[in-house]
Amino acid sequence: MGQFDDKVAFITGAARGQGRTHAVRLAREGAAIIAVDICGPVSEYNSYEPATADDLAETVRLVESQGGKILAEQADVRDSAQLKAVVDRGVEQFGRLDIVIANAGICNWNRFWEMPDEQWETLIDVNLTGAWKTLKAAVPALIEGGRGGSIIVISSVAGIKPLPGQANYAASKFGLVGLTQTAAKELGEYDIRVNSIHPYGVKTPMGTDPGSLVILEKHPHYLSSFGTILTEHPLADTDDITDAVLWLAGDGSRRVTGSQVAVDMGNTKV
């Protein structure tokens, strides 16, 4: 018996990294998974490799290896129609929706006055507007189910403490805090909880982005903003973030909503 037996989770950005780990761990605990990922390039300003269709296929394989059921499709979180169609197919296939994890996001680097408009606009559209469209596509099914639910928005330390060299990213992640807290207030009457998780660096292609080294080499005085308290663990494992996801998705956090959960090795406190 798993703690999420008979429940269904919708996860964006599920082809690899944090999203894949969330999917596999939830499946291990009995949840069926509705997974999406764009599986391709998003911004020319990203300096790490994009996820691929093969990555999403590997997520499917790993979920099924846990005995889990999964519907996985390529979709862009910037496209409301695509998201709604996937959610509708998933609810039709699995019969319900209980958990939503707005995980998809990108990161790139530049000083704010040197950013081309497209660099700013694409990141905001993916990270912030994409999360709003994710919630917009999923919430009607949560409400219709009448069982409550849990929405988990993956923000960042940059949504609590802005970091230099990524004004676009910080703006998007601060925006997610506002979206999370407004959604929590609007959905409370339906017993749907909404919380955000704020990781620091995570061992993923985005979390180990070489673009960060480039800007820190150019502007070494920025380094003072990137310290941590738990210095022996400068980067989290994806499982560390999933531990927080499973807690917020489960009954152990049934009285928690509108909260910011920092999994950041103490970065927001230095």
Give residue-wise pLDDT tens across range 173-187. 999 999 999 999 999
Give residue-wise pLDDT tens across range 184-207. 999 999 999 999 999 999 999 999
Check residue 233 and give its pLDDT.
87
User: How distant, in Å, are the alpha carbons of 25, 29, 61, 64, 211 from that of 67?
Assistant: 11, 10, 10, 5, 38
Nearest-5° Cα angle at 263, 124 to 71: 65
| Residue of 169, 190, 200, 222 marked catalytic | 169
Radius of gyration of the chain (CA): 18
Check residue 1 and give its pLDDT.
80
Give residue-wise pLDDT tens across range 10-19. 999 999 999 9
User: How distant, in Å, are the alpha carbons of 84, 128, 220 from that of 133?
Assistant: 9, 9, 37
Band of pLDDT at residue 41, cut at 50, 70 and 90: very high
Mark whether 169 is an active-site residue: yes
Domains with residue ranges and CATH for the chain: 8-269 (3.40.50.720)
Q: Enter the pTM of the model.
A: 0.98
Band of pLDDT at residue 59, cut at 50, 70 and 90: very high
